[in-house]
Amino acid sequence: MGKLNYDKWSKLELSDDSDIEGHPNVDHASLVRWKQRDIHEKREERKFKIAHYEQELKNNDALYPKLVEITKTVAEGGPSAFSSTVERLKTQPSPDAPAPGQKKYDEMIYDAMMSVREECKAEGLDGKDDKLGEALVAKLEGQKKQLLDRQEYLKQEIVKEKAEQDKKITSDDIHEGFSSSSVNKAVEPAPITSSLSKKPVTKKAATTIETLNAPSTSTANFPRSTTENTAHETEEADDEGEEDEDETLPELTPELLAFSKIKRGNFEESYRFIQEHRSVYVPGADDALLVAAFDAETNGKSDYAKNCVNQALLIQYCEKLGPDGPALFFRRAMQGHKAALAVFSKDVDDTYKHLKGRVEATRDEVASGKEQVQLVASDPSMSFSFSVPDGPPPPNLTLDEELKDLDIEQVREALQTRWDVFQSFPQNLQDALKANSLDKVNKVLGKMEVSDAEEVVRLLSSTGIMDVADGGEVRDMTGKE
């Protein structure tokens, strides 16, 4: 009968060994807790170091082809190509980066090229030296070699750290073996939907909504400053604008409401809540939180509003980091990574500041009302009609019998002026006049500033494009859009 192999037990790492040596004045339970904490801290530090090395490997894999291409360009173009490349990297860097908030790849390349430039200056080489081009290429080749050497070092360190990690059995190594039981697959929680996520974005829309960050993929849909599109607004675009007024905004679910009340900076509690309540980490959750922030700020609950912004950005950052986003983001946050926390904190402050500004602007608009110029008949029997010119006066202009007493040149001049005025109007106003629809003309006038609309009405009247049967008047409609 063969001997039993007990080697596997040597991989167990216990924090409550009875043979722990300690100070006689320190109780054994405290020594056990200290050793346990030391074991877990070193284990987490090793995990973080491996993750850091692997990320640096990916970064260098992205940088090396760029460095090869730049070296080739400088070898062909000389110092001038080097200078132009440095200028491009400085003024027009690519937005590509390893992750949101991290240094861009082009900025890393820029730092390497500036290091090369400084080395050349230290050696007394300037633009007039014939050897500058060769020196630049040689030093760029040196940068490539350093990068490759660093890659080899990182690979060796990762192998060494993983070997050290595998020496002991941890809870991460525990997995189920053979089992006859069956487990129903958990149902993925439904996303938080609203009419904002259902409506397709078309180029005909008259209004665009600003979005938060970026780089990415999940944006805020709470009200923000809008910009009017001066392009051609067709009848279909106007109909879409009317539909937008009936949009339903996303609302907080009970789980999201509880998540929104977790205090800023309590990353441990937020991470635990996401792990226990999968329904808060779904598409649309950040939108619902930002809408809640806007409502809270409107109602004077500034602290809660900023808290909602903070929680919304937590979800956005995790989503941008991929499938393992929550684990990656919260691990770095709970380890107190200063650079990452500074970027996140600034993003929260900037987003809240923007939201607060939009709330104040909305209050001002509601308080003051918006003046509009509208064409209104003072009596139900009165009506408006619009006579749109077909084009400029023809070269051979002839007058009807009723107009034979008029000067033909004056008539020609009046018709030309009428056509020029019509052509000067924006396309949406031209379409409304061609449709001979008072409602459509008023809709266009309502979107204009009062002074501009009044000038349009004056031109319509003076050129005869607008005809008022039995009289009529122009009236300011304040606060009625």
Q: How does pLDDT run across 51-82, given as a tens digit for each residue?
A: 888 888 888 888 888 889 888 888 888 888 88
Distance of alpha carbon 419 from its chain centroid, rounded?
A: 45
* pLDDT grade for 337, boundaries at 50, 70 and 90: confident
For residues 93 and 104, the answer to whether their CB atoms sit within 8 Å is yes
Instruction: Please tell me which residue, 445 or 230, carries the higher pLDDT value.
Output: 445
The CA-atom distances, in angstroms, between 140 and each of 61, 75, 113, 118, 334 are 16, 10, 8, 12, 39
pLDDT score at 229: 38
Confidence check: pLDDT of 472 > 50: no
Token readout for 203 is 């180029």
CB distance 371 to 425 below 8 Å: no
pLDDT at 203: 37
Alpha-carbon span 119 to 85, nearest angstrom: 17
**Residues forming a β-bridge with 476:** 373
Residue with tokens 């409107």: 298
pLDDT tens by residue, 388-423: 888 888 877 777 766 666 777 777 888 888 888 888
Query: What pLDDT score does 221 carry?
Result: 36
pLDDT at 242: 44
* pLDDT score, position 369: 60
**Residue 140 in tokens:** 């760029």
The percentage of residues in the chain with a pLDDT greater than 70, rounded to a whole number, is: 69
**Residue 321 pLDDT exceeds 80:** yes
Whole-number Å distance between alpha carbons of 404 and 413 = 16
pLDDT grade for 278, boundaries at 50, 70 and 90: confident
